[in-house]
């Protein structure tokens, strides 16, 4: 199975595959549910292999571990999924 880092790298570097609208579905521990977030809203920091970062609608920055990503969608269709 492809790791989430490998998939994100492919989206970033493979121009043909990276066309489209991508979303990450990650588990939010506070809300106890899966949150879908557009990929264009996240920030990947080079050499940070453990977290992605995003700013919510209230302006609060969040750091989310990659292991909480449960699914990836391309143009609304799930292309990657991890159980638990």
Structure confidence by residue, pLDDT tens digits, 34-66: 999 999 999 988 888 899 999 999 999 999 999
Sheet-wide strand order for 42-43: 42-43, 51-55, 61-65
pLDDT at residue 50, rounded to an integer: 92
pTM of the model: 0.88
Q: How many domains does the chain have?
A: 1
CATH number of residue 35's parent domain: 2.30.30
Of 35, 26, 24, 22, the C-alpha closest to 68 is 26
Sheet-wide strand order for 22-28: 33-38, 22-28, 69-74, 77-81
Q: Note down the domain range covering 54.
A: 4-81
């Amino acid at each position: 199975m492809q790791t989430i880092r490998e998939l994100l790298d492919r989206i970033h570097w493979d121009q043909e595959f990276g066309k489209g609208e991508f979303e990450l579905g990650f588990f939010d521990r506070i809300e106890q549910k899966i949150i879908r977030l557009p990929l264009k809203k996240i920030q990947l920091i080079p050499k940070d292999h453990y977290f992605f970062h995003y700013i919510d609608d209230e302006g609060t920055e969040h750091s989310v571990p990659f292991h909480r990503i449960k699914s990836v969608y391309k143009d609304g269709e799930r292309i990657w999924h991890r159980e638990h």
